[in-house]
Amino acid sequence: MKHSLKISSLEEIDAVAKAFISATRGHDLFAFYGQMGAGKTTFTVALCKAWGVEDVVNSPTFAIVNEYCCADGETVYHFDFYRIKNISEAMDIGVEDYFYSGSRCIMEWPENIEELLPDEVLRVYIEVNPDLSRTVVWED
């Protein structure tokens, strides 16, 4: 079934993140697709806030993965695979260990490691609309 949520403005993003979390309960692996500037990192920040992450959330472009701690002790791993040139680079950082850790994983630019993504990953697309709002789309 296809689902979507619209983000009309940044003022709405926290509410949309909470609605997304509610609608995707039971999922821990999220692969976010979208063009450069679509808002993948911005939406990730809102999701982490809704999950109770107490750390500063920013793009792990150079580190490839950031680890965030939630108030309840849970861990969120945030990946940015934009700079990954080949699958072996992803394997070298141990992505499969993260994916099967039982912790939440948010991935940006997952198309660069598509063949490593587990079957249970939730593929989420952030689309930029003509009015510059965003639509978050996924199928389960």
User: Cα–Cα distances in Å, from 127 out to 89, 91, 93, 124?
Assistant: 28, 29, 29, 10
| CA dihedral (92, 42, 122, 31) positive or negative | negative
Domain spans, the chain: 2-139
Average pLDDT, the chain: 95
Structural fold of domain 2-139: Rossmann fold (3.40.50)
pTM given for the model: 0.94
Question: For residue range 17-27, what is the model confidence (pLDDT) as tens digits?
Answer: 999 999 999 99
How many whole angstroms separate alpha carbon 96 and alpha carbon 133?
34
Query: Which tens digits make up the pLDDT trace of 9-64?
Result: 999 999 999 999 999 999 999 999 999 999 999 999 999 999 999 888 988 877 89
101 has a pLDDT exceeding 80:
yes
Q: Which two tokens stand for residue 116?
A: 């490593």
